[in-house]
Structure 1
Amino acid sequence: MSVTTVPLRPVSKGGLWLLWIGILALLGTAAAFAYQVTPRIGFEVVKEGSGPSPTVADVVLVKYEGRLDDGTVFDANEQAPMPVAGVVPGFSEALTRMQKGGKYKISIPPQLGYGNQATGPIPANSTLHFDVELLDFRSEAEVRAMQQMMQQQQMMQQGGAPSGEGAPQP
């Protein structure tokens, strides 16, 4: 058996550009398909905030009201502290896009909420709608330090010394 080689002509510069354009078009089509398949949250800025946005390592203080598609309120709070990483993925994503003092309307599809599991008053496969105001946020380390200071103050007010410090000797 013999192999015949065929010499290939070099690709012209114009042909090379067409090849690259074709590859980019193919990649763009794949990216557009992925964008359509991936569920997205609805995010509307009602009132602009200012400053930086929280990260997944922060704890936020928010005022919010959560509703179902039919308008039923399933939860509301005037000042709720919550770790950004400790909420459903869609809410976490929305929090990282907010700024202090801002007000937002967000819609979370079931895939980024509670999915096909019912949770409390929230039926399975529910789209969640929230009105949220970002009041403040701090890093988890700052929140832990504040909690320790408060515990030490409570211990002092109750007449006990914090552990590790000079406790009264009998």
Structure 2
Amino acid sequence: MGLTIEIVAPGDGKTYPRAGDIVSIHYVGTLEDGTQFDSSYDRGRPFQVELGVGAVIKGWEEGVLKLSKGEKAILTIPPNLAYGDEGVPSLIPPNALLKFEMQLLEIHRPVS
């Protein structure tokens, strides 16, 4: 099973992130049973991350690269694209399927 993306609300349809960009995203991460394990909303600010440097799980990065600015989607990420058979102790069990409801808010492209 691979990554699946369900579009909840379309974005601009023309501005997509690429490796090297810094993106700003609001998200809620849940386990398959709906148990929440992380949320940028709970921290009161969007999550910012540079793409293409391995800072997030593989499925998360693959999904974000397919979203356009403003798009809201639910990413369903299989264990092989998440934390695999190790999980994250006391947070994410081994071989867990993860769901992230996210919205790509901003794309910051470095000046070259």
**Residue matched to 2:71:** 102
> Within the alignment, does 1:64 sit opposite 2:34 as a pair?
no
1:137 Cα shift?
A: 1.1
Q: Distance in 1 between matches of 2:98 and 2:82?
A: 7
Residue identity in the other structure for 1:40: G
1:118 Cα shift?
A: 2.1
Q: Distance in 2 between matches of 1:118 and 1:66?
A: 14
Q: Distance in 1 between matches of 2:50 and 2:87?
A: 22
User: What stretches of structure 2 of length at least 5 have no aligned partner?
Assistant: none
**Residue matched to 1:134:** 104
> Within the alignment, does 1:47 sit opposite 2:17 as a pair?
no
Considering only aligned residues, what root-mean-square deviation do their CA atoms show, in Å? 1.2
Moved over 2 A (4+): none
**TM-score (normalised: structure 1):** 0.58
> Within the alignment, does 1:81 sit opposite 2:48 as a pair?
yes
Higher relative contact order (CA 8 A, sep 6+): 2
Match of 2:40, SS state, is strand
The answer as to whether partners of 1:56 and 1:92 remain within 8 angstroms in 2 is no
- Percent of residue pairs bearing the same amino acid type: 32
After the TM superposition, which residues 90-169 of structure 1 pair with which residues of structure 2 at under 5 Å, given as runs?
Answer: 90-120=59-89, 121-139=91-109, 141-142=110-111
Q: Distance in 2 between matches of 1:45 and 1:52?
A: 16
Q: Distance in 2 between matches of 1:47 and 1:60?
A: 18
Q: Which has the larger radius of gyration?
A: 1
**Which structure carries more helix by proportion?**
1
1:84 Cα shift?
A: 2.1
